[in-house]
């Protein structure tokens, strides 16, 4: 067991026949810290190496962590500032409540 944080990426695709499919894409270790810049850097390198069509990106879904949703240096803010990302994608934060019984 290690203390390495990991970025888990899923991808959801919609095809011409409107069939939607969601697949696990990868897990990327975050070797430094888990700041927005670190998450952005590993994701951007991964997307370039595997030639992901970032221009087709429509939505980024997070769990609302500040590293992901921060206004200036969060992952989503850094994506919005990058010319390769479309200017009209949405960011959705999912909030889960734990219920103890």
Instruction: For the chain of 101 residues, list the mean pLDDT of each consecutive stretch of 10.
Output: 83 90 92 91 93 85 84 89 78 54 46
Predicted confidence at residue 37, as pLDDT, reads 94
CA distances from 80 to 7, 9, 59, 88 (A): 19, 18, 11, 9
pTM: 0.78
Predicted confidence at residue 101, as pLDDT, reads 46
Q: What share of the chain is helix, strand, coil (3-state, %, to 5)?
A: 30, 30, 45
Predicted confidence at residue 56, as pLDDT, reads 84
Predicted confidence at residue 94, as pLDDT, reads 58
Predicted confidence at residue 99, as pLDDT, reads 47
- For residues 3-17, one letter each, b for 16 or more C-beta atoms within 10 angstroms of the residue's C-beta and e for the rest, the string is eeeebebeeeeeeee
């Amino acid at each position: 067991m290690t203390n390495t944080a990991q970025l888990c990426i899923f991808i959801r695709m919609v095809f011409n026949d409107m069939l939607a499919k969601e697949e696990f894409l990868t897990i990327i270790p975050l070797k430094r810290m888990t700041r927005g810049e670190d998450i952005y850097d590993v994701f951007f390198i991964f997307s370039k190496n595997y030639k992901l069509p970032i221009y087709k990106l429509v939505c980024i879904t997070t769990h609302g962590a500040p590293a992901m949703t921060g206004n200036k240096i969060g992952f989503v803010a850094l994506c919005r500032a990058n010319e390769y990302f479309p200017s009209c994608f949405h960011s959705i934060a999912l909030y889960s409540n734990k219920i103890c019984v």
